[in-house]
A and B are shown apart, each in its own frame.
Chain A
Amino acid sequence: MAHRLLRDAEADGWERSDFPIICESCLGDNPYVRMTRAQYDKECKICQRPFTVFRWRPGRDARYKKTEICQTCCKLKNVCQVCLLDLEYGLPVQVRDTALSISSHDTIPKSDVNREYFAEEHDRKARAGLDYESSYGKVRPNDTILKLQRTTPYYKRNRAHVCSFYIRGECTRGAECPYRHEMPVTGELSQQNIKDRYYGVNDPVALKLLNKAGEMPSLEPPEDESIRTLYVGGLDARVSEQDLKDNFYAHGEIESIRMVLQRACAFVTYTTREGAEKAAEELSNKLVIKGLRLKLMWGRPQAPKPETEGSEVARQQTAVAHSGLLPRAVISQQQSQMQGPGSQDHGPAMHYYNTLPPPQPERTFYPSMDPQRMGAIVPSQEGSSSGPSGSSENRPPSEQQQQGQHYAYPAMAPPHGQYYSHYYPPYGYMMPPPPYQQYQLPNQSTVPPLHPPPATQQYQQHPVQSGSTPSSSAPVPPPAPPSSSGSTPGGSAPPVSS
């Protein structure tokens, strides 16, 4: 039998479409989707005109979703047809409009005939090819919106609805009930109205989000003026040093970037304090690299402070201090050992750099007292000269070392720091860059490159650890004789026994 249309669809101006305009979350995680299309199946929830309803299941554990508003209404506000959230940012209309200071609030009529007329006019214009001034593509995203936007799809909203019989205790369907058997979350957020959400008026979710945005903490610079390092957390394998560099170079000259993949974090050190502050100001809460929202905080000085705030903070400090290589037990031990400047201080502090502590001859209390620690290649008195010369050659690492050293030993002389720059970058378990190895090779015969103190075996395990990175581990052999336990690659430090 011929399928006869009762009315001429074109004449009525009812909407026909071929594919829904929906966001990623509503489409689901499954790349294979079966969708039914029903022309003029339902009326749009906003403008009440018949439109094409698409229905599909966005994933295995999802309920069936269908388009709720017509494409005309959806294009007017640039929202998803199902969830009515912005297509680009995933935010409610009210949030997006406030953040971007758009106000199409008055242009779309809300009542009866006005609304229908407006919708049809708009539809006709769109079909005729006139580009409606869809300003949504042209608006530049500002900070607030970048802070608030959703970066990954959120599939929890595709779950089945809560079983209303279960709430009353009357669900007789039991195991085959397709609805969720949970108690619903009630509260102010539950009273939502699709028209309010669409027009961006009086939307509780939007209000909550805006409040939260207003209160988002800004990153104040720490009191210690010498800190020029920013801690970047939440890293992933996708984010490379180059990405960080690209993001951070704009605010100031980067002295160094140290990535600690074990802790999913990185430390970006600027040459100037102003650069770091500028970066913090601009990027805090807005740092999104490759879709991954990263946390930005100030790096903490590595001088062990008794942190009472909480394990998270302490852990972070640990991360900052040790790049995740030493267990907290070690740190706390070091913290407890922290005394005035002295070899004792010096020794545990060495852990922070994962360097071998300098040898501790009987009378020398400062590293600068010990020529070997000043960079002596041969156990002669080259030390102090090679120190400064080395520093002039290697300005950046020495500066970073200097700064890093500054973290740990406020009392220490800079040349000492420069010495360490040759061998171990601060925060780092990374291998010292190859040029430095020249220093080490001749050292091997005479003094193990890291000058392990004969009495302290524990320290020797650090170069072992750092030397465990496969590439350049050769020139830094584990100091043979005193090193006792085998090196555990990858940073699990054997407990320091002193």
Chain B
Amino acid sequence: MPKVKTNRVKYPEGWELIEPTLRELQAKMREAENDPHDGKRKCEALWPIFKIAHQKSRYIYDLYYRRKEISKELYEFCLDQGYADKNLIAKWKKPGYERLCCLRCIQPRDHNFATTCVCRVPKHLREEKVIECGHCGCRGCASGD
């Protein structure tokens, strides 16, 4: 048999420290994926997925950029392996988007009149105070509130 190239994962150092949390989050995600949809609206069933994805990315972003507890190598490793969403993190680095919930909410193509989702509007500028955006169930991700 010819040599089949496999992709064997080589974990960089520091991985053992973050691995438990990441595994936990992964398990949570699997749970959310397998949840029955009874009693929930169609869009509501997807909200936990977005929420957990946000959580995972947030964890890694915080470790590297805020707390600076992991090395660049480990950080890039996590991004490559798919433990965090690098596009979402790219938005968090921009001013005004520090708390962005998901990438759909800022996509004008997905909305009527080429606007963004209502969850991006700060609470003091909104008329209805309590909302859950349809895409990800976000209640308000403007940097001010």
Contact = CB atoms under 8 A, between A and B. Distances in A.
A65 to B, nearest CB: 14
A34 B130 contact: no
A176 B131 contact: yes
Interface residues of A, number: 8
Nearest to A34: B113
B130 A175 contact: yes
A60 B112 contact: no
A446 interface: no
B38 interface: no
B130 A36 contact: no
B132 A176 contact: yes
B113 A36 contact: yes
Max count, chain A CB within 10 A of own CB: residue among B39, B127, B132:
B132
B132 A60 contact: no
B interface: dominant SS: loop
Contacts of B112: 34, 36
B71 to A, nearest CB: 42
Interface in A440-457: none
Contacts of B113: 34, 36
B110 to A, nearest CB: 14
Interface in A40-79: 60
Interface in B13-45: 39
A314 to B, nearest CB: 45
Interface residues of B, number: 8
Contacts, number: 13
Interface in B78-133: 112-113, 127-128, 130-132
B14 to A, nearest CB: 42
A173 B131 CA distance: 10
Nearest to A177: B130
B130 A176 contact: yes
Contacts of A60: 127
Contacts of B132: 173, 176
A432 B128 CA distance: 56
Nearest to B113: A34
A198 B110 CA distance: 36
Interface in A268-295: none
A175 B132 CA distance: 10
A211 to B, nearest CB: 40
Interface in B123-145: 127-128, 130-132
Contacts of B128: 176
A357 to B, nearest CB: 60
A172 B131 CA distance: 13
A175 B131 CA distance: 8
B132 to A, nearest CB: 5
A181 to B, nearest CB: 13
Contacts of A34: 112-113
Contacts of A176: 128, 130-132
A141 B80 CA distance: 76
Contacts of B39: 172
Interface string A166-204: 000000111110000000000000000000000000000
Nearest to B129: A175
Contacts of A173: 132
Contacts of A36: 112-113
Contacts of B127: 60
Interface of A: 34, 36, 60, 172-176
Interface of B: 39, 112-113, 127-128, 130-132
8 contacts: A34-B113, A36-B113, A60-B127, A173-B132, A174-B130, A176-B128, A176-B131, A176-B132
Given A34-B113, A173-B132, 6 more contacts: A34-B112, A60-B127, A174-B130, A176-B128, A176-B130, A176-B132
Q: Which 5 A-B pairs have the closest CB atoms?
A: A175-B130, A176-B130, A176-B132, A176-B131, A34-B113
